Structure 1
Amino acid sequence: MNTFKNIISVLVLTLGIQYVNGQNISIDETYTAQELVKDILINSSCANVFNVSVSGGNFASGEKSFGFFDGTGTSFPFQKGIILSTGKINNAPGPNSYLSDDGGSMGWNGDPDLNQALGLSNTFNATILEFDFVPLGTSISFDYIFSSEQYLSNPMSNQCNYTDGFAFLLKKNGEPNYENLAVVPGTSIPVKVNTVRGSGTICPPANETYFDAFNGTVHPTNYNGQTKVLTAQSNVIPGETYHIKLVIADEGNYRFDSAIFLGGGSFNFGIDLGDDRLIATGNPLCPGETLTVDATQTGATGYQWFLNGNQIPGAINATYSITSEGDYTVEIYFGTTTCSPPSQILKIEYAETLVVNEDTFTECDADTNQDGKTVFDLNAIKNQLFTNLPANYVVSFFETQTSTTALPTSYTNTTAFSQTIFARVTNIQGCYTDYPVNLTINTFTETITDETLGLCESNSLILDAGSGFTSYSWNTTPVQTTQQITVTTAGTYTVTLTNATNCTKDKTFTVDASGIATIDNININDFQDNNTATIEVSSTSLGDYEYSLDGINYQDSPIFYHLEAGEYTVFVQDKKGCGIVFETFYILDYPKYFTPNNDGYNDTWFIKNLDKRNLENSTITIFDRYGKLLKQLTGLGDGWNGTFNSQTLPATDYWFEIQLSNGKSVKGHFTLKR
């Protein structure tokens, strides 16, 4: 930064660049210490100031490290004020084109009080402005800006801890210790380069809310950066004598000058009227509440109260009772002079008188167990609870009036069917009691069962949702609202049922297109150890079918197993009730034995029902175990009686071959028993 600013300085001189004076602050070194304090810093007839002194650098040229500055017409935040520097103040005006680096090798010492306040031991080049004063009010405050060449925009890492020090030291006469008022707001941290610094360099930021900027060349001052306008303040006791010491110094060496700019007229002997009462801070006045404010000051001869800058008629006492919101101030007069130390502005707001709109909320139990517990949206309840809830009011809900744990936004009641919870305004204290909120949970206990029905071809179907409900709403177009509706097309029909407690459930009817079956074929696989019949239904049949061989016992499978030889009737029934069809079929098989003993039972061996299958032209050939042809039959014959050439054959096994007229051949053997 040094090199850059030196280059800029050379360019300015070499090229003759002219900076308009109005862009930069100007300084005046002719003011006395008394004038700087009474006429510039305080500028009030209420000031009781004495023992004013100032000291700084003893420059051979007669230049000073303190004086008056004028910022009128510039972008500098202060129009005028006092500057205290660790170098020559005539280097303070902008542009920021060279390094202000004064005070070396001239025996310019630091300050022990500053060392003690900041915990230092090595300060140099101290400039000090100090005076005694007697406050009329209960507080003092003044505004300032800290500027420094040590706010480097491109520092090396070892420069991050470079910092000059300053302090605003206050103590009541007779007390041994000072209080430093130049601290980061809300803390006890002294304001320095490394405690208030912005981001954007290799040095870590610190309290950057209070940092203004790193400066380029064009700036009203010749410093590399500065804080925002800060306020030093303290409570004081009216009538007591105080000493204040405003001091700034270099730390470690004389290098990289710094300065304090004190806002002209900003030193106020104010009256503290107490804390603001605001909704934002949670402490507004409650509806109808009166706040009495006491501004009594020793030696005061008169008072005048103001509301929003306007005089309040008749409000001329030390105390005033506030009954409406606004900004309050008071002027306090002393003796015959017009001295009136300004009071702070006391901001007053009133909490809203909340009007309950609705405090009972009903929900239906939304789950399946209907136990009287369900989820409530407490955000929605909050928005309906009051007719006039301000947007910045925070309302939370609690299970009891003593509970401190807020309920979640989605809250499931813990007491079945009915429960009272409590709404509480949590960001405003003391104005509201808890508001009871009644939760009611209704149920739908009626059992509702969905149904699946068949709609037979060319027919209509009545859907009946059941009686006993207060309303019905079907998902038809247009919506139908009757207990029963008639449908002529398949689909899903849903009806919303409302019971006497205004709770609802849905019942769904699934209507499938259906119809009576058409049997296309019965696929028979016989002459097997496991004879089967498979019922084949036409692909154009719409229904869901079941099958039976006795018309009583039905099965879903169209296949029947382990069928013995004989006549069967198969029944095909539509499960949706669209009708039954039936058809007869025959299972063929050969007898495993026969007993030709002329008892009239099983005396011949033959194949039954060949003609029923149109196989009567089949040829049956019988052999003995040696392959000798014994008999040849047709499907219409009487069978074989166990003889050959009228001779009775012995009991044993015999073999056969059936040449069916459909081209199929069946071979096997059977037993002749005597």
Structure 2
Amino acid sequence: MKNFHFLYIAITCFLTGTGISFSQGDRCGSIQPFCAGTTEFVFQNSSRVNGNVARAESGPNYGCLETQPYPAWFYLQIEEPGNLDFQIRQTVNPDGSGALLDVDFIAWGPFQEEDAFCENTSLTAQNTIGCSFLPSAVETFSINNALRGEIYVVLITNFSEAAGYISLQQTNTSSPSAGETDCSIVNILGDNQKVCKNDVVELVAENVIATRYEWYVFDDVLNVFKLIPNESGDNYTVTETGLYKVITINGNTGTELEDEVLIEFFDLPVATTPKDLQICNSGNVAFFNLNLAREELLQNYLNTTEQFSLNFYASQANFENDSPISDPAAFESEDDQEIIATITNLGSGCSSLPVKFRLQIETPIPIEIAEITAVCIDLNGNLAGSISIGEDLGSNYSYEWTPFNDPDGDGIENPVYNIVQVPIEQNILVKITDLVTGCTKEFSTELKLFSPPQEVLVQIEGNDFENDFRVTGNAIGGIGGETSYEYQLDNGPWQTDPAFNNVAPGNHTISAREVNGCGNATSQQFRLIGYPRFFTPNSDGYNDTWNVVNDASNSISKVFIFDRFGKLLKQLNPSSGGWDGNFNGKAMIADDYWFLVEFKDPDSGAIREYSGNFSLIR
């Protein structure tokens, strides 16, 4: 017999308690499943403070329990066969600390699922496997050689009748011969669920032996569970958010089990279809950062605290197979690739319906600005004309110039940079942006001053017998910087080579200009007199006579030939056959001879002279 000093203390506590109701498993008919596992099962006890059932029901054989105050009924089922050792402990605090409270128990079994294990005929002395009425806060019992599927009933009583917590724990789980309890019986309806509105939730009362079921939904207004009419099967289809409860009733065993589950339906997030992503690239393949579409996809949620993840798919097949793009920040794509995207609410796990956009590879800015801009000045150092840099590409482009380029003061930089006075040499920078595609390009051009040549000098070289000349121009630089020139003979094409070959006899000019178009200069007119440098009067049919080459205008009127002493040997008509090397019927010796020609200047009409020498060879 126990020392009832503990009862006196319990009565004292009851007199000062609050009388809060506690009804978990206070009758065998409301017995609750228990799963040991590897963790400690802790629950608040029933006591004078919170219990409405002060004594267990009459009928069962309670064995050693002389009294059964504030009962808590549990049952367990064996999953793996073996030995199971249990410890029951009752303390003031849920972590096992504080004052120790006297706890007692009795266990019956084994039973099968079809047995009415809550009937008095089942809870007998013959079926008792453990019992303790010791004045202790810690009790132990064992189930030896338990078999799979067996059920055992445990009644725990609070002899102290004080408020506290009871722990029930299997203590030999690490033993190789330990059996295991079936934890699937504890959670009848499964875990709470967060469900997307396009899903269907079917609650099934699993792992229980019952002949009838009652389904309830919690009424938030009345703060009670309300019975759902006409629902008596083991499953119930849920279509709305709510706290649902099932009571499973076994008409054979007289037991009732209940479980609750919270089902929360969440709206599907709505993704906003983003604009097509565009990138500037001169090729047909480019890398895209798909995350740039994030803000548009989440347009509906920018002002909320909700968190979302994004998934991108390269094809409809990949979307259907849930195979998203692994690296959306650097996705290699061809032009006009279609991308499928969804957003997922991280709080609910719900994903949006898919939206689609395209990847487009855009042509870069359609303009080029030279690295050097020639600024033409005249020989007095003045600007030869205005200079314009850039091009107006239309209203879809913006411009950022350095130095700032807003001459009209409207706050918008002009597309063309105009230079109207001689600048100090400097760089001009511009960044051009395509406002539609987002393509940008930066240019830098260096301003350089150039001027035309001051004059052109001419050097003349001739060739024997070929009646042609090599003429070379030499431009004398102006006042600009490093300058290159190109040259023109008469009205012919411009060339960078200053030399002109095979120039025909006659009147000519050479012009030179700065290669950037900064003005030109022209030489004084010069005349080329064509003549052979020697002749061989040997009657072989080759170079037997000598004469000058007249031009098309026949401006040469007279030709005089002299020996080295200045003696006139012959006067020729340029249109005649020429001199045969004889004087007064006598052949002249091989020697150098001189000639003098008279010709009319085509510009002034004045008679001018030209002299030179040639050789007679025998």
TM-score (normalizing by structure 2): 0.46
Decide which structure has greater strand share.
Answer: 2
